[in-house]
Amino acid sequence: MSNTTIPMKYLYFFSLRTRVLISITTIFLLYGYLCRFAGLYFFWESKTIGWVLFFITLIFFLLDRIKIENARNGKAVGEKIGIAVQILVLITKAVLLVAVPYTDSYAKAVDYIKSNQYIQSKTGTVKDIFFVPYGSTSHQSTPNGAVEQSDLHFVVKGADKYIDLNLLMSKDVDSDWEIMVND
pLDDT in tens, 19-31: 899 999 999 999 9
9, 82: one domain: yes
pLDDT at 6: 47
pLDDT in tens, 84-103: 999 998 898 888 888 888 88
pLDDT in tens, 30-56: 998 998 888 877 888 888 889 999 999
90, 109: one domain: no
127, 177: one domain: yes
* Dist CA 76 CA 63 (whole Å): 9
The domain boundary residue, chosen from 72, 99, 126: 99
pLDDT at 9: 58
86, 117: one domain: no
Helical pair 46-71 and 16-38, crossing angle rounded to 10 deg: 150
91, 112: one domain: no
14, 87: one domain: yes
Range of the domain at 110: 103-181
